[in-house]
Amino acid sequence: LGMLEGMLRVLPEASVGHIGLYRDEETLRPVSYFCRLPVNLSEAQVVLVDPMLATGYSAREAASMLKARGAKRIQFICLVACPPGIEQLHSVHPDVTIVTAAIDPELNKFGFIVPGLGDAGDRYFGTG
């Protein structure tokens, strides 16, 4: 949600869908709780946005959900990524283009990017 307003300034005619995932703190795997996408994604250029590409599991799951709905051209845009997340996303979806502002070197034992920006959701919503 934090990147949506900026994306709509750049792509004001875009259709918007939402995929809600949260990370299980023990397994670091994504858990889906919401999915509302445009009906026909087969001809669309899909832009998947998330502030961070850390473990890559959520991005991988979101790309899988989009492809299950017919998406063929997916671009993932984030602010900060790290090599394990890039490798994880591309291990299942090598066709997904990744655009990032920065690549930080590693993840800590909690699956957060180091040095990173902290928890993007906590920062955006002021809940951290």
Active site annotation includes 123: no
From 23, 55, 60, 104, the catalytic residue: 23
Active site annotation includes 24: no
From 24, 95, 122, 123, the catalytic residue: 122
Q: 73 — alpha (psi -120 to 50), left (phi > 0) or beta?
A: beta
- The closest alpha carbon to 97, from 65, 59, 57, 68, belongs to 59
Interior angle at CA 43, CA 40 and CA 48, nearest 5: 80
Active site annotation includes 104: no
From 24, 27, 97, 123, the catalytic residue: 27
Active-site amino acid positions: 23, 27, 119, 122
